[in-house]
């Protein structure tokens, strides 16, 4: 793809690219917006270095791609900015958000299209994020397995990912959303098909017996984790990652305890997943 307003350098042939020549604190012109969008569609996750964004600028950048999402179960850190999800770890952390491979908030009926994470504090080493290409994960399955998956749905439930993140005293009052989505999802922009089950949120495939569902999901989770579908992003302070939740999964590596890692995530609303035969 030829770009005129940005430079795009691929991290791997399969997924991930760094974008140069954009100041995310400034409103993007139409052509630059289109090129960033195209680079995201082409690479599934894009990265920017050396950005300085206020909360409002971060939200404005996200809003270019759609309305902003408010997390159903995470505490609101900034009263005036419920769309900001704080990603934080320090010497008190036992876990961090996103340690399992997942697609963000797939428990929503209309899960987010994309997520834009801006880290301002990073550990001296470690704390990378891994991303995996779900088109490749689907394409590389054998024909009979593809055939089987095309007719199936899966239940995704927020409690699987968020139950222990919610204060014990709040758990009875809080609603943990859940939703049923096709196991193979057609991307609404590219028209390509990708696997849409993830260890973080998916509970079971209701059309199958419990043991069949567990075995099939475990096989798919292991397949999704194949290293050749992945890239690994090394953060620096003021880096930004923007991923497409409809065709990529990610995994936050928590290998830096007790160092600090801090940033804000803005999440862009998406639509109801569907499957359309190719």
> Which are the catalytic amino acids?
102, 104, 250, 265
- H-helix segments, the chain: 30-43, 55-63, 134-139, 143-150, 158-162, 210-224
For the chain, count helices (H), then strands (E). 6, 15
CA 39 vs CA 5, 19, 35, 139: distances in Å: 12, 8, 6, 21
Measured from the CB of residue 104, what is the shortest distance to ligand SIN in angstroms? 6
Q: Indicate whether 162 belongs to the interface with ligand SIN (CB under 6 A).
A: no
Contacts of 244 (CB under 8 A, 6+ apart): 40, 41, 44, 45, 113, 114
Cβ closer to ligand SIN: 68 or 216? 68
Q: Provide the 8-state DSSP code for 152.
A: -
Cβ closer to ligand SIN: 196 or 205? 196
Cβ closer to ligand SIN: 97 or 205? 97
Which residue is nearest to ligand SIN, using beta carbons?
98
* Residue 98 half-sphere exposure toward CB, CA atoms < 13 A: 24
Measured from the CB of residue 209, what is the shortest distance to ligand SIN in angstroms? 31
Binding mask 80-119 for ligand SIN (x = CB under 6 A): -------x---------xx----------------x-x--
Q: Indicate whether 36 belongs to the interface with ligand SIN (CB under 6 A).
A: no
Residues 250/47, Cβ–Cβ less than 8 Å: no
Measured from the CB of residue 268, what is the shortest distance to ligand SIN in angstroms? 13
Q: Indicate whether 129 belongs to the interface with ligand SIN (CB under 6 A).
A: yes
Measured from the CB of residue 196, what is the shortest distance to ligand SIN in angstroms? 16
E strand intervals along the chain: 7-10, 17-20, 45-48, 85-89, 114-121, 129-133, 153-157, 178-182, 184-186, 193-195, 202-204, 230-233, 239-244, 248-252, 261-268
Residues touching ligand SIN, count (CB under 6 A): 9
Residues 212-271 that bind ligand SIN (CB under 6 A): 250, 252, 265
Cβ closer to ligand SIN: 123 or 145? 123
CA 196 vs CA 83, 127, 150, 264: distances in Å: 24, 25, 11, 25
Measured from the CB of residue 267, what is the shortest distance to ligand SIN in angstroms? 8
Positions touching ligand SIN (CB under 6 A) are 87, 97-98, 115, 117, 129, 250, 252, 265
């Amino acid at each position: 793809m030829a770009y005129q307003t940005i430079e795009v350098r691929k991290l791997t042939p399969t997924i991930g690219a760094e974008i140069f020549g954009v100041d995310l604190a400034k409103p993007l012109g139409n052509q630059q917006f289109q090129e960033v969008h195209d680079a995201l569609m082409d690479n599934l996750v894009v990265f920017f270095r050396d950005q300085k964004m206020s909360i409002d600028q971060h939200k404005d950048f996200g809003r270019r791609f759609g309305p902003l999402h408010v997390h159903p179960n995470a505490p609101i850190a900034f009263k005036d900015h419920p769309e900001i999800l704080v990603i934080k770890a320090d010497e008190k952390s036992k876990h961090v958000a996103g340690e399992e491979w997942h697609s963000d908030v797939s428990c929503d009926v209309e899960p987010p299209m994309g997520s834009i994470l801006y880290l301002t504090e990073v550990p001296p080493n470690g704390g990378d994020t891994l991303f995996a290409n779900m088109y490749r994960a689907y394409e590389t399955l054998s024909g009979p397995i593809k055939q089987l998956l095309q007719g199936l749905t899966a239940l995704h439930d927020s409690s699987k990912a968020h139950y222990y993140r919610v204060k014990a005293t709040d758990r009875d009052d809080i609603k943990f959303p859940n939703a049923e989505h096709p196991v193979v999802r057609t991307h609404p922009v590219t028209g390509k098909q990708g696997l849409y089950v993830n260890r973080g949120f998916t509970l079971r495939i209701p059309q199958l017996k419990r043991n069949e569902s567990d075995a099939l999901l475990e096989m798919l989770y292991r397949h999704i984790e194949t290293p050749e579908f992945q890239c690994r992003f090394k953060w620096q302070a003021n880096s930004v990652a923007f991923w497409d939740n409809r065709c990529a999964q990610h995994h936050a590596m928590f290998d830096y305890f007790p160092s600090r890692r801090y940033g804000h995530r803005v999440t862009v609303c998406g639509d109801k997943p569907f499957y359309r035969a190719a």
